[in-house]
């Protein structure tokens, strides 16, 4: 994540987790962007829409990276 020479962001990373209510929840790192969806296709659409709404024209990232986080709890 970071600006390129023109001052616009080149990449924005989202941590994606399973939503307890079903589907997925995605939160951007370093930006106040959060979205949810019931499936991966919907998540892709919602992440793109959230990013477009968050940034002024031409100031948003050129690439979005989804980092899927899988949490497992083990009993000892």
Percent with pLDDT over 70 in the chain: 89
pLDDT digits (tens, 9 = 90+) for 11-47: 999 999 999 899 999 999 999 999 999 999 999 999 9
**CA-closest candidate to residue 14, choices 3, 23, 36:** 36
* CB-count burial class (<10 Å; 0-12, 13-18, 19+) for 35: buried
pLDDT for position 58: 79
């Amino acid at each position: 994540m970071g600006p390129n020479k023109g001052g616009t962001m080149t990449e924005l990373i989202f941590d994606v987790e399973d939503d307890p209510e079903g589907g997925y929840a995605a939160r951007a790192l370093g930006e106040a962007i959060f979205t949810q969806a019931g499936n991966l296709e919907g998540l892709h659409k919602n992440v793109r829409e959230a990013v477009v709404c968050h940034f002024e024209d031409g100031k948003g990232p050129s690439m979005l990276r989804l980092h899927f986080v899988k949490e497992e709890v083990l009993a000892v």
